[in-house]
Structure 1
Amino acid sequence: MLGLHIAVGCFVILLNLAGGAIGGLAWFRDRPSIPFWYVLRAAQISVFIQAALGGLLLVTNHKAAENLHYLYGILPLVISFIAEGARTGAAQRELGDLDFEGLSAETQESLALQIVRREMGIMAVSCGVIFFLALRAATTSGI
């Protein structure tokens, strides 16, 4: 199981690096990116699997070299949930009390693109944070 934990950890690092780069570039260029959302969801799934595997290793008495490894291992999961909450709030902040259906099609599209861009920015930053946390988790594992 330790080998699987290491392999999934590598996926966590790579997927979050890719998600942060793709999302950050799309945000910078002010263009929505469909591939970003697929990479993001794969990264989030890998974080969940990694945390579950880490928990299984912990209950089966496998110990990390440093106790900080556990913090770096669980924080990516926490960051994912916080980022999803912030992403949800981004759309609500943009819309406010606006009657979206009453707007022209052009205005609706412009507003939707603003929301997507803000959401991409939030999630790309979360990928970057998780990437660095996963790197630190790897360096404190003792492997």
Structure 2
Amino acid sequence: MDVAHAVVGFALLALNVAAGIWGAVCWYLIRPSRRFWPLLRAAQAAVLVQAVFGGVLLLAGDHVAKLHILYGLLPIVVSFVAEQLRINAAQSILDARGYASAQAVGEADELEQRFVVQAILRREMGVMAASALVIVGLAARAAFGSGGV
């Protein structure tokens, strides 16, 4: 199980690095990406699998530093908070542009509708890319700085 925990940990790092960098580049270039979202979801799945493996190891009597456990659990918190921010991205864009609701955007001309949708998608991608990069830092700290490896 220790080997599986290490392998998933490195996969977690690689997937979050890839999602974070890809998302940040697409955000910067104002370029939507369909590939970003499956990559991000795979990275999030790796976070959950890693937490489950870590929990099983703890229950089996494996002893690690408490800091390792903290840095191992914080990525779940970061993912949850980022998802909440992503969910609220649409409303914040609508508010900033003076729309009372998504239905009100439907009354705007097609070009304005596209701008609003693009702004929402960009905000969502930016939030989630940033969260992936934060998770990289936390996971690296868990793996290399607090008794993980």
Give the TM bin, normalised by the shorter chain.
over 0.9
Provide the aligned length of Structure 1 versus Structure 2: 142
Partner Cα distance (2:108, 2:51) in 1: 44
Superposed CA RMSD: 1.0
Partner Cα distance (1:30, 1:68) in 2: 38
Partner Cα distance (1:69, 1:142) in 2: 6
Task: Identify the residue that residue 10 of structure 1 maps to in structure 2.
Answer: 10
TM-score, normalised to structure 1's length?
0.95
* Percent identical: 44
- In the alignment, structure 2 segments of 5+ residues that lack a partner are none
Task: Identify the residue that residue 37 of structure 2 maps to in structure 1.
Answer: 37
Match of 1:131 among 133, 136, 148: 136
- The worse-fitting range, judged by mean Cα deviation, of 73-82 and 29-38 is 29-38
- The worse-fitting range, judged by mean Cα deviation, of 132-141 and 122-131 is 132-141
Secondary structure at the residue paired with 2:31? coil
Task: Identify the residue that residue 26 of structure 1 maps to in structure 2.
Answer: 26
Partner Cα distance (1:92, 1:54) in 2: 37
Task: Identify the residue that residue 67 of structure 2 maps to in structure 1.
Answer: 68
Task: Identify the residue that residue 103 of structure 1 maps to in structure 2.
Answer: 108
Task: Identify the residue that residue 125 of structure 2 maps to in structure 1.
Answer: 120
Displacement of 1:142 after TM fit? 4.3
Q: Deviations over 1:59-100 (max 9, x none)?
A: 111111x22000000000110000000011111111231412
Q: Runs of 4 or more off by more than 3 Å in structure 1? A: none
Change beyond 3 A, Cα 1:142–1:122: closer
